[in-house]
Amino acid sequence: MTGFMSVFDVPVEQGMAMAVKDINAAGGVLGRQLELITTNNESDPTKIQSAAQEAIEKGAQFVVPACDYDIGGPAARTANDQGIIAIGCAGGPLFGYEGTGPMTYNLHQASPGEGATMAQWAFAAGYRKPFVINDRGLEYSQVAGEYFTKKWQAMGGQIAGETTYQNGDQSAASQIADIQRSGADLVVIASYPPGGATLIRQIRAAGIGLPMVGTQAFDGTYWLDAVPDLSDFFVPVTASLHGDDPVAARNEFFRRIEQETGSPAASAFYPLTGYSSVQALARAIERAGTTDSAAVSAELDRFTDEDLLMGPTTYTATCHIPSLRPQLIVEYTAGKPAVVQRDLALTEVPGGAPC
């Protein structure tokens, strides 16, 4: 797995490999050993469908696409077109039943829920004048920023200002000037690394010390070299990889990653997603008593607060996005992240959950 998506997809594959190892050691699924088949789309939009087709031709009965709607969506459609389940972790709300097909399942809460969670946390924390920077680079970041604003306004709040950013832009001078004029008490970074880290560095370098809240794309430490000693930065996350997660099994999972790979996990969400995708499929297959996609899909649709490693997961026959899964809040202080709030439960997504 290569290209810009490899920073996300390689940890997903690591998590999948660990789940396959664990399940096979326990006897496999329906008495059969699981096999992990991989292909490389090189993060190239022109190669996504062919890479998915290659995996299917190698014998894949289930597909785990790249962790993004723009890159993973075409692979999910390729699987759906052949009656094959695709399960992944795209933030874009179209990665699910309605957007890519009835055989597509998302383990991410989706960016409407993520943006709404950021807003709900910020409002409860006492902020009243957020300035929103909306990265147009991916649907994920665009929608997260839009739903921060929608949720904020639904709670009766007013936005101090909004602007856009394009991931990869070398200068954030216009965004910095807008923040300085706005009178904001919080900066919302609806973006993702590496460009988002560049944006944060330039904001801090301009002398703006306001608290910031970012998307879950900033989970982990892999991007912090760009912003050493970062403080007053908050992120809603599914889990913490820093030894302070409230679920002991997740702390053990991250210890295992370091033991088995020789390096600590760079983020929590992606390896957890890989593990949980295999875990979800294995449970659904066992309950269905078959690997037939229709039967397995029916069992996935029955998941109600299913206790996967990444947390409670609920699907229905027409909703394949677990929008209301509780989150943690991690704060970065002098470059060190730590959980400062547990069980942040989103009350609602403006306009309803994605499905």
Does some domain include residue 351?
no
pLDDT at 355: 65
Residues 33 and 97 in one domain: yes
Task: List, for residues 202-244, the tens digit of each pLDDT value.
Answer: 999 999 999 999 999 999 888 999 999 999 999 999 999 999 9
User: Which CA distances in Å does 207 have to 123, 183, 318, 330?
Assistant: 24, 14, 48, 23
What is the domain extent for residue 20?
6-109+247-313
C-alpha 115, offset from chain centre: 12
| Segment 89-127, tens digit of pLDDT | 998 888 999 899 999 999 999 999 999 999 999 999 999
The answer to whether residue 318 is domain-embedded is no
Provide the edge-to-edge strand list for the sheet that holds 327-333.
161-165, 130-135, 186-190, 212-214, 233-237, 327-333, 336-344
Domain co-membership, 148 together with 256: no
Over residues 39-85, the pLDDT tens digits come to 988 778 888 899 999 999 999 999 999 888 888 999 999 999 999 99
At 297, the pLDDT band (50, 70, 90 cuts) reads very high
Residue with tokens 């990444």: 310
pLDDT recorded at residue 69: 87
Beta bridge partners of 85: 62
CATH number of domain containing 55: 3.40.50.2300
pTM recorded for the entire structure: 0.89
**Under the phi-then-psi rule, with left for phi > 0, alpha for psi from -120 to 50, and beta for the rest, what region is 77?**
alpha
Task: Confirm whether 273 is domain-assigned.
Answer: yes
**Contact criterion met (CB below 8 Å) for 194 and 226:** yes
- 335 and 201 inside one domain: yes
Q: How many domains does the chain have?
A: 2
The rounded distance, in Å, linking the Cα atoms of 279 and 310 is 10
Number of H helices, E strands in the chain: 11, 12
Interval 24-34 mean pLDDT: 97
